[in-house]
Chains A and B, each alone.
Chain A
Amino acid sequence: MSVIRLENVGFTYQKGMPDEKTAVSEVSLTFKEGSFVGVIGHTGSGKSTLIQMLNGLIKPTAGSVFIDDEDIWSDTSKLRDKRFKVGLVLQYPEYQLFEETVKKDIAFGPRNLGLSEEEIEERIIEAAGYLHLSPELLERSPFDLSGGEKRRAAIAGVLAMRPDVLVLDEPTAGLDPKGRKDILEVIDNYHRKENKTIILVSHSMDDVARYADTVLVMNSGKVMYYDTVEEVFKHSSELRETGLNIPTVTDILLTLNERGIGVDTDIYTVEKAADTITAAVKREVHI
Chain B
Amino acid sequence: MRDITLGQYINGDSPIHRLDPRVRLILTLVYIIILFSFKSILQMILALVFILIAYAIVKIPLKMLLKSLKPIIPIVLFTSILNMFFISGDVVFSFWKISVTKQGLYYAALMSLRVICLLAGSSLLTYTSTPIELTGALESLFKPLTKLGFPVNDLAMMMTIALRFIPTLLEETDKIMAAQKSRGANLDTGKLFERIKALTPILIPLFVSAFRRADELALAMECRCYNGGEGRTRLNELRLKRSDLKATLVFCLFCVLLVLAGKI
Report if A and B touch in the complex (beta carbons < 8 A): yes
- Give the B-binding residues of A (Cβ under 8 A): 52, 55, 57, 80, 83-84, 87-91, 93, 95-98, 108-109, 112-113, 143, 157-158, 161
Given known pairs A96-B205, A98-B205, the reply for A157 and B183 (CB within 8 Å) is yes
The 10 listed contacts between A and B (C-beta, < 8 Å) are A57-B182, A80-B186, A83-B182, A87-B182, A90-B175, A93-B179, A98-B201, A98-B204, A109-B183, A112-B183
Once the chains bind, are B201 and A96 in contact (CB under 8 Å)? yes
Q: A96-B180, A98-B200 are in contact. Are A112 and B205 (CB under 8 A)?
A: no
Chain A residues whose C-beta falls within 8 Å of the C-beta of B259 in the assembled complex: none
Q: Does B181 contact A (CB under 8 A)?
A: yes
Residues of chain A lying within 8 A (CB to CB) of residue B209: 95
Cα of A97 to Cα of B205 in the assembled complex, Å? 6
Residues of A within 8 A of B186 (CB): 80, 112
Q: Give B103-134 as 1s and 0s: 1 = Cβ < 8 Å from A's Cβ atoms.
A: 00000000000000000000000000000000
Contact B184 A95 (CB under 8 A): no
What residues of chain B lie closer than 8 Å to A97, measured between beta carbons? 205
Q: Size of chain B's interface in residues, with CB distance under 8 A?
A: 18
- Inter-subunit contact B179/A96 (CB<8 Å): yes
Digitize B121-154: 1 where CB-to-A-CB distance is under 8 Å, 0 elsewhere.
Answer: 0000000000000000000000000000000000
- Select one of A52, A84, A143 contacting B208, CB under 8 A: A143
The answer to whether B219 has its CB under 8 Å from any CB of chain A is no
Q: Which 9 A-B pairs have the closest CB atoms?
A: A112-B184, A98-B204, A96-B179, A109-B183, A88-B182, A98-B201, A90-B179, A57-B178, A98-B205
With A112-B184, A161-B183 already in contact, the answer to whether A52 and B201 are too (CB < 8 A) is no
Is B178 a contact of A52 with CB atoms below 8 Å?
yes
Answer yes or no: B185 CB below 8 A from chain A CBs: yes
The residue that B184 contacts in the complex, of A57, A91, A109, A143, with Cβ under 8 A, is A109
**Taking chain B's interface residues, is the majority helix, strand, or loop, or is none over half, making it mixed?**
helix
Interface residue? B46 (CB, 8 A)? no
Chain A residues closer than 8 Å to B179, beta-carbon distance: 88, 90, 93, 95-96
Pairwise interchain contact B201-A108, C-beta atoms closer than 8 A: yes
Query: Which residue of chain B is the closest to A57 with respect to CB atoms?
Result: B178
Chain A CB within 8 A of B176 CB = yes
In the bound complex, how far is the Cα of B181 from the Cα of A87, in angstroms?
10
Q: In the assembled complex, how far is the CB of residue B211 from the closest CB belonging to chain A, in whole angstroms?
A: 10
Once bound together, how far apart are the Cα atoms of A204 and B128, in whole Å? 45
Complex interface: chain B residues within 8 A of A161 (CB): 183-184
9 A-B pairs besides A96-B183, A109-B183 with CB distance below 8 A are: A57-B181, A90-B182, A93-B179, A95-B176, A98-B200, A109-B184, A112-B185, A157-B183, A161-B184
* Closest residue on chain B to residue A113 by CB atoms: B184
A107: min CB distance to chain B, Å = 10
Digit string of B190-204 for contact with A (CB within 8 Å is 1, else 0)? Answer: 000000000011001
Q: Once the chains bind, are A158 and B205 in contact (CB under 8 Å)?
A: no
Are A90 and B178 in touch, CB under 8 angstroms? Answer: yes
**Of A91, A96, A157, most B-chain CB atoms within 10 Å:** A96
Q: How far is it, in angstroms, between the C-alpha of A98 and the C-alpha of B208 when the chains are bound?
A: 9
Q: How far is the CA of A95 from the CA of B182 in the complex (A)?
A: 14
Residue of B nearest to A143 (CB): B208
